[in-house]
Structure 1
Amino acid sequence: MVMPEKGVVVLFMVVAMAAVEVSHGAVYKVGDSAGWTTIGNINYKKWSAIKNFQVGDTIIFEYNSQFHNVMRVTHEMYKSCNASSPLATFSTGNDTIVIQNHGHHFFFCGVPGHCQAGQKVDINVPKVSATSSEAPTPSGLASSSVHVPNNEPAPSPNQAPSIFSAFHGRFAIFLSLSIAFLFVCT
């Protein structure tokens, strides 16, 4: 077995650490090209249902700040469109939120009538587990202990995530570089 010199090992570790620091999750613009609006009957429930949200992903709300805002709320507030005491309010018209944990993250527009008109979205970030089929726990962001069942059918085998799909973002880069290093060292 040929062992690399110390300089090669140090260089590998520096590259691996840099790669871990610069990797990011996916970026999603809520409503895609339509953005965050009441115009055009955007179905935000349908929009979010087809996404595969992960911890570290970035959610962008783009809207006209003269007519809309974004409120992060609990599940109960989300269901009733109660804007009286949101967990957070965003109003720049270009709000970026990085998902920090698993579970449901509830948002709606706090302008009267907009949530009732459908301007609300549930960003669900399920826990990825190769050994468990547990339902995701509600998000710490949402401050809710209400379980929201997922009534969607299971994906077909060609759509089911592989065990490797759990390895994404920073960990995937670190894992890939570590495996490459092992091959170099042997």
Structure 2
Amino acid sequence: MMMARGRGGAIGGGGVIALVLLVGLFVATSAPPVAEAAASYMVGDYGGWKFNVDRWAKGRTFRAGDVLVFSYNRAVHDVAVVNAAAYRSCAVPNKGARVLRSGRDKVRLGRGTHYFACTVRGHCQAGMKLAVRAV
């Protein structure tokens, strides 16, 4: 006994292709967005952490997770992580401020505004300070 072959199935020929395309479209549009990799920034670009670096961040967009790299001569400079008041006044507190002194310090940014200043007398006043806002 032979069974008849026909097009009576629910999905046949072109229907299978349409279903595959529909599933592919659904997967492509419902996939989570790919996270951007964190960027690394050399503060002051090739000149590094130096005088008048306070304008370096202007026009740049920083994101939480990005890394700032402070490159400098550690015999004559340092980098203090300070608050807004210390940044504005260039008066780094003797206690409580985290001071980096390796000459190649890396700081990962969290969301918000971050302030940095050199603690060597007169350097902050000469623009060796930085305010960076990460979104």
Q: TM-score, normalised by structure 1?
A: 0.52
Shift of 1:100: 2.1
1:85 aligns with 2:85: no
In structure 1, what is the Cα distance between the partners aligned to 2:96 and 2:119?
Answer: 9
Q: After the TM superposition, list the runs of 4 or more consecutive aligned residues in structure 1 that deviate by more than 6 angstroms.
A: none
Distance 1:65 1:117 in 2: 17
Count residues with an aligned counterpart: 108
Distance in 2 of aligned mates of 1:85 and 1:77 = 12
Q: Choose the corresponding residue for 1:99, options 106, 109, 119.
A: 109
Q: Please name the residue that 1:56 is paired with.
A: 65
For residue 67 of structure 1, give the secondary structure of its aligned residue in structure 2.
coil
More helix by share: 1
Structure 2: segments with no counterpart, 5+ residues? 1-18, 25-31
More strand by share: 2
Q: Distance in 1 between matches of 2:75 and 2:65?
A: 29
Tell me how large the CA RMSD over aligned residues is: 2.3
Residue 86 of structure 1 and its aligned partner are, at CA, apart by 4.6
SS at match of 1:117: coil
Tell me the alpha carbon deviations over residues 20-67 of structure 1, each in whole angstroms, 9 at most, x when there is no partner.
6xx6311111111110123xxx3x232111211111111000000000
* Aligned residues with identical type, % of pairs: 33
Residues of 2 paired with 1:95 and 1:24: CA distance? Answer: 20
| Structure with max Cα Rg | 2
Given the alignment of the two structures, is residue 69 of structure 1 paired with residue 82 of structure 2, yes or no? no
The counterpart of 2:54, out of the listed 20, 23, 45, is 45
